[in-house]
Amino acid sequence: MRIAYFDCIAGISGDMALGSLVDAGADFEALRETLGGLPLEPFSLEREEVESFGLRATKIHVDAPAAGVIRTYSSIRTLLDQATDIPGDALRNAQRIFRRLAEAEATVHRKEVELVTFHEVGGVDSIVDIVGTALAVSMLEIERVFASPVPTGFGMARTEHGALPIPGPAVVELLRGAPMYSRGVPFELVTPTGAAILATLVEVYGDMPGMRMEAVGYGAGEQRLDFPNVTRVLIGQEERAAAVPSGATGDGDVVLETNIDDLNPELYEYVLERLMAAGAQDAWLTPIVMKKSRPAVTVSVLCASADQEAIREVLFRETGTLGVRATAVAKQALGREEIEVATRFGKGGVKVGYRDGQAITVAPGFEDCVRVARAAGIPAKDVYEEAAGLARAQLRSSD
C-alpha cells in the first residue's frame, strides 16, 4: 500500500501541501490543465524553485483577482460537481475537505453547514490549492496519509473577521484531537485550508510509519522564519510489519463493535466517515434494543488487524463509548478493479469484482452517479443504470 507522511516542519497551508506533492513528483502540467477547467474566475498557476535554509523546495503561486466572489459551502459543492474532468477519487477528497471546513466554520459561527460563507477559503487560490492537493494525491496513487504533530504558531492574526488568536478558531476545530504545539513562533503556521487537508486525509498523527521511501517533496511557505519554512512529504510503500500498533493480534481481519445509546443520530454519518478514513474496510450501523427496552445502535467496523488501534481511537473519541469488543474473522474477497465509463450525462467510475478471472459484479460508484445526476438534473438511478450497462458492455468487448 502506498502511503504519504506529511512532516509539518513549519506547519502547513494549502499551497505548501500542494507544493510538496508537486515536488514529490505529481505532474504539474497535468495539474494546471485540469485545474484550468474549474468554473472559476480567470487565474494562472505557476511553480517556482526556492531555497529555505539550504533546502530546495517548490513554491506554488496562484495569481487570481484579489476581490473574488464570496462563496457559500453550497455554491462550492455545486462548483465541484460541475468539474467533470477531475477523477472520481480526487473529486471525492476535494468535496470531503470542503465539507470538513464547512463543519468547522458552522461550529465556530453557530450556523447551519449549508449556510456557511467562506471568505479567504472561498477565494480562487484556496479552491485551487484544495482541488490541486486532492488531484496530486490521486496522481501519486497515495492510499493512506499520516502526519507529524502540528506546530501552529501563536499570537494574533488579521482576518476578514478582524484580529483573531493563533491558531485560529477554525484551525483549532479542524485539528481537534490532533497533537499540536506552538513551536514558539509568533506567526500563523497553519491556515484553515492546511488544517482541513490534514483533518480530512490524515488517519494517524505521530512518528513516521514504517515505509520503503520512494519520493520526498518540499513545499515552501510565505513567511521568513528562523528555520526552513517548508512542509515535507515522504511517500513510499507501507511496511506492514513495522506499522503494526501495540495490541494488534497479527495478520487477518477483525470486526470491532460497540453499542451506543446516547449519541445524537445526526453524528453517525460523520463517525462512519472518520472510520473509513482511519482504514476501515467497511462500517455499518445496526438498530438494537438494550436493557430496560432502551433503543440503541451497534457500530460495527471491519478492518485489518494492523489498523484496529486507529479504528478504536476513532470509536472512543467520536462516540464516547466506554468499551469496544473485537472478533477475529475469516474473509474471502473478490479481485477488484475500477473502470471509467462515459454516460450521456457525464463520466464516472464503476467497481468490478472478479472470481477466477471472470467479472461477476458490476457496481457504479454512488458518489459519481450523484455528482453526474446533480449536474444533469436527472434521477441518479438513470445514471446508475446506464453506467452499469456501459460497464458490462465494455467488459464483454474486452473478453
My answer on whether 156 and 270 are in the same domain is no
Beta strand 2-7 with 144-147: parallel, antiparallel or unpaired? parallel
| The amino acid at 69 | V
Q: What CATH number does the domain containing 283 carry?
A: 3.30.70.1380
Q: Among the listed ranges 41-45, 61-65, 356-360, which one has the minimum average pLDDT value?
A: 356-360
pLDDT mean over 284-298: 86
Tens digits of residue pLDDT in 378-393: 999 999 999 999 999 9
Which of 272, 306, 329 is where one domain is finished? 329
CATH number at residue 349: 3.10.20.300
Q: What is the pLDDT of residues 195-205, one digit of tens each?
A: 999 999 998 89
The predicted model gives 138-153 an average pLDDT of 94
Q: Please list the alpha-helical segments (H only) found in 183-222.
A: 192-201
Whether the CB-CB separation of 79 and 120 falls below 8 Å is answered with: no
Question: CA nearest 175: which of 159, 162, 193?
Answer: 193
pLDDT over threshold 60, residue 248 = no
pLDDT at 196: 95
Total-model pTM: 0.63
In a domain, 247, yes or no: no
Domain that holds residue 215: 2-242
Whether residue 149 has a cis bond before it, omega within 30° of 0: no
Question: In this predicted structure, what is the pLDDT of residue 238?
Answer: 87
Nearest Cα neighbor of 143 from 82, 183, 201, 92 is 201
At 245 the pLDDT is: 36
pLDDT at residue 215 in the model: 97
Of the given ranges (19-23, 127-131, 153-157, 385-389), which has the lowest mean pLDDT? 153-157
Cβ within 8 Å of residue 399, ≥6 positions away: none
Same domain, 385 and 346: yes
The pLDDT assigned to 65 comes to 74
Contacts 24+ apart (CB under 8 A), 326-329: 326/249, 326/254, 326/255, 326/256, 326/257, 327/254, 327/255, 327/257, 328/249, 328/252, 328/253, 328/254, 329/252, 329/253, 329/254, 329/255, 329/302
Q: Which of 68-72, 226-230, 301-305 has the highest mean pLDDT?
A: 226-230
- Mean pLDDT computed over 118-127: 76
* pLDDT score of 83: 86
Q: Examine the fold and report which residue of 242, 265, 300 is the final residue of a domain before the chain moves on.
A: 242
**Mean pLDDT of all residues in 179-199:** 94
pLDDT of res. 239: 77
* Contacts of residue 74, Cβ cutoff 8 Å, sequence gap at least 6: 114, 115
Same structural domain, 341 and 260: no
Which of 214, 242, 270 lies at the terminal end of a domain, its last residue? 242
22 and 28 in contact (C-beta within 8 Å)? Answer: yes
Residue 5's pLDDT is what? Answer: 97
Q: Quote the pLDDT of residue 1.
A: 83
Q: How high does pLDDT run on average in the chain?
A: 88
**Number of folded domains that form the chain:** 3
Task: Supply the pLDDT for residue 399.
Answer: 66
Residues whose CB falls within 8 Å of the CB of residue 332, separated by 6 or more in sequence, listed in order:
none
pLDDT at position 240:
54
